[in-house]
Each structure stands twice: as C-alpha cells, then as structure tokens.
Amino acid sequence: MQNSGSQTPRVRHRKRSSEGFQEASKANGSHLLVHDQNKYRSMLIRTYSTVWMIGGFALVIYLGHLYIAAMIVVIQIFMAKELFNLLRRSHEDRQLPGFRMLNWHFFFTAMLFVYGRILSQQLVNTVTTDMVLYKLVSKLVKYHMIACYALYIAGFVWFIVTLKKKMYKYQFSQYAWTHMILIVVFTQSAFTVANIFEGIFWFLLPATLIVINDIAAYIFGFFFGRTPLIKLSPKKTWEGFIGASFTTMISAFLLASIMGRFKWLTCPRKDLSTGWLQCDPDPFFRPEYYTLPRWFSQLFPWKEVAIMPVQWHALCLGLFASIIAPFGGFFASGFKRAFKIKVCNLEQS
C-alpha cells in the first residue's frame, strides 16, 4: 500500500484509500466500477477526502510561494522516506550500522544542490538590505557548487569505506537505489519549485488539470465505463479516458482564462518574501480580442471574445495531462504490483 514516484502524490493518495477497499472484492473476473455494488459508498469516501485535500491545497496556494515550496519539501521528505524503506532488508541492515545515514546524507546534499541553484538568486535579492548578510550569502552562493560536490564526494568515500565483505551486492544495489530515488524525487520537485517562483499559475494550472482529469475519468467510468483500458489497472476504462480527455481540454481553456486574471498567480516572485505581488503582466496574459463570425453572433449576444495567448498553450498542457499523465498512474500501479509480488514470495518461503 506504499507510495511510489509519480507526478501527483496527492492524486495517488486518493486512489489508494479506495483501492484498499475494493481489493477485498476482487475475486470476480470483471470488476469494473459500473458493476461494483459498493461503489456509491466508496464514492462518498472519495468525495470526502477529495474535498479536504482540495481545501488544504487552496489554503496553501493562498499563503504563497514560500509556503507552497515548503509543502513540496515536506511531501518530498515523506516520499523519500517511504521509498528508502521500500527496498531495505532489515536482517542485512542490522550488520551495517550507519548505512541508513548515508541515504540521508545524499538526500541533504541533493536538497542543498537543487534548492541552492533554484533559489539562490531569490535569496540574494531578499538580503540586499543588510550589508553583512549580503556578503555572506553572496559568498555561499558563489561556492555553492563546489560545496555540494565536496559533500557528494564525501558520501562516495564514506560508501567505499563501509563496504563489507559478502555484502557488496546488497550495498551496491542500495547505493544505486538511493541515487534512483533521489533523482526521481528531486527532479520533480525541483522543476515544480522553479515553476512556482516563475508564477504560481505554472504550478496551479497543470496540477488542477491532473486533478480534473482524474476526477472526470472516475465519474465517466462510474456512469459509462464498459471497456477495460489496460491490464495494469483493471478498473480504468476507455469511456472514462476519452470523457476525461474532453473535460480536461475544455477546462484547460477556461481555467487558464480565469487564473490568468490574478496577479498573485501570474507574477514571478523575485525574492523570498511573502507579501503581495505587483508586476507588469506578461504578454501571455493580455487578452486579445477576436470578432466572432456572423452566424455565431446572430445566435448569441457576444460580438467578440477575449482570448489570452496563454489559453492556447493551456490546450497543449491539457492534451498532455489527458494522454500522458494516466501513464504516471499506470507506472505507480505496476510499481506497487512489482513489489507486492516480492513480499508474497517471502511470506510463502
């Protein structure tokens, strides 16, 4: 029932709470959502948890860039902890004291590297008022890369020194897993935080589209789902997939227009303050007026429509969210299944 890496940890969380429920009644051949008897009760549970999560998320968005980055860091720490624990074998670990510390050393190095690079300019801009602090921070930022490299080399040497005879394979595998986990966790969060400081819009819109895609796929599958989509996730259906794609594209177009009107969402943050934002809106967010064709304006009252250029880009984001993002979910399903198989084998032997 563990978390694995994918684009939307929050969405995965929601899927988990329900899948545990329905795994009990998995004995039948076809277990599409349309045929499930308990589906209305599980839908209530899903709705309840979804409302709470969306509410919490909206609060964090309101609080601002720094708090969103903090939320992401917290999610990251939990993801890394779960993934580190996923593949350890406790009987081998007992013979290797201090080996777990190595994971957290590399985690700390990755934190320093990734957030140092992304937030260094913002950090420098925050301390321009104080002369002493400015010099200190500038020097830290100047030597940031070599400090991270030195920390990584120290971790590498530490790993070599702790190699114990007969446990080489386990230790090398753990080393490779640590790197893999940190790369998966930090690539996502690095790009997310970088996007946030360019403007919350660039984090909020894609995240919202993924949520809408998931919810729409669930609802379409709930009412219309007949044809299974992929063997990996037996409850996903083609009807859900296609319905969700349309819904996502339309809401991308509309949401981009709505979100683009708020300066809080579209302005980049140049420092680490939490105050109100003011800026010149990017040409992306300036509405352009298109006159509607004659036959349209005869039926409807609008003569021209205001479309921001960002809405066209949002269509592309919507396309990606509806077609590629479900594969992230399939990856997570496959990953969970791959490691559940392993656990079953250990229990049998």
Please tell me whether residue 191 binds another protein under the rule CB under 8 A. no
Nearer to another protein, 296 or 339 (CB): 339
Q: How many amino acids of this chain bind another protein (CB under 8 A)?
A: 29
Closest approach of another protein to the CB of residue 6, in Å? 11
Contact with another protein (CB under 8 A): which of 145, 176, 254, 306?
176
Please tell me whether residue 334 binds another protein under the rule CB under 8 A. yes
Residue among 260, 247, 268 at smallest CA distance from 311: 260
Q: Say how far apart CA 277 and CA 31 lie, in whole Å.
A: 50
The SS3 call for residue 289 is strand
Q: Say how far apart CA 271 and CA 35 lie, in whole Å.
A: 53
Q: By the 8 A CB rule, do 182 and 62 touch?
A: no
Interface segment toward another protein; rule CB under 8 A; list 67-75, 151-159, 204-212, 265-273: 151-159
Q: Say how far apart CA 1 and CA 7 lie, in whole Å.
A: 18
Alpha helices in the chain (DSSP H): 9-22, 39-63, 65-86, 90-93, 99-126, 131-142, 144-161, 168-198, 201-224, 238-259, 263-266, 294-299, 309-323, 325-348
The SS3 call for residue 236 is strand
Closest approach of another protein to the CB of residue 330, in Å? 5
Neighbours of 94 (CB within 10 A): 8
Closest approach of another protein to the CB of residue 93, in Å? 17
Burial 230-241 (b: 16+ CB within 10 A, else e): beebebbbbbbb
Please tell me whether residue 165 binds another protein under the rule CB under 8 A. yes
Contact with another protein (CB under 8 A): which of 231, 236, 285, 348?
231
Please tell me whether residue 171 binds another protein under the rule CB under 8 A. yes
Residue among 325, 70, 68, 75 at smallest CA distance from 200: 68
Closest approach of another protein to the CB of residue 35, in Å? 22
Please tell me whether residue 232 binds another protein under the rule CB under 8 A. yes
**Contacts with 280 (C-beta within 8 Å, 6 or more apart), sequence order:** none
Measure CA of the first residue to CA of the last residue in the chain; give whole Å.
21
Q: What phi and psi values does residue 64 have, to the nearest 5 degrees?
A: 120, 180
Closest approach of another protein to the CB of residue 251, in Å? 22
Contact with another protein (CB under 8 A): which of 172, 223, 246, 296?
172
Please tell me whether residue 89 binds another protein under the rule CB under 8 A. no
Closest approach of another protein to the CB of residue 227, in Å? 17
Please tell me whether residue 60 binds another protein under the rule CB under 8 A. no
Please tell me whether residue 177 binds another protein under the rule CB under 8 A. yes
Contact with another protein (CB under 8 A): which of 63, 163, 254, 258?
163
Please tell me whether residue 94 binds another protein under the rule CB under 8 A. no
DSSP-assigned beta bridge partners for residue 237 = 228
Closest approach of another protein to the CB of residue 180, in Å? 5
Q: By the 8 A CB rule, do 151 and 109 touch?
A: yes
Please tell me whether residue 26 binds another protein under the rule CB under 8 A. no
Interface segment toward another protein; rule CB under 8 A; list 68-76, 149-157, 197-205, 293-301: 149-157
Please tell me whether residue 160 binds another protein under the rule CB under 8 A. yes
Query: Where do contacts with another protein occur on this chain (CB under 8 A)?
Result: 153, 156-157, 160, 163, 165-166, 168-169, 171-172, 176-177, 179-180, 183, 231-232, 324, 327, 330-331, 334-335, 337-339, 341-342
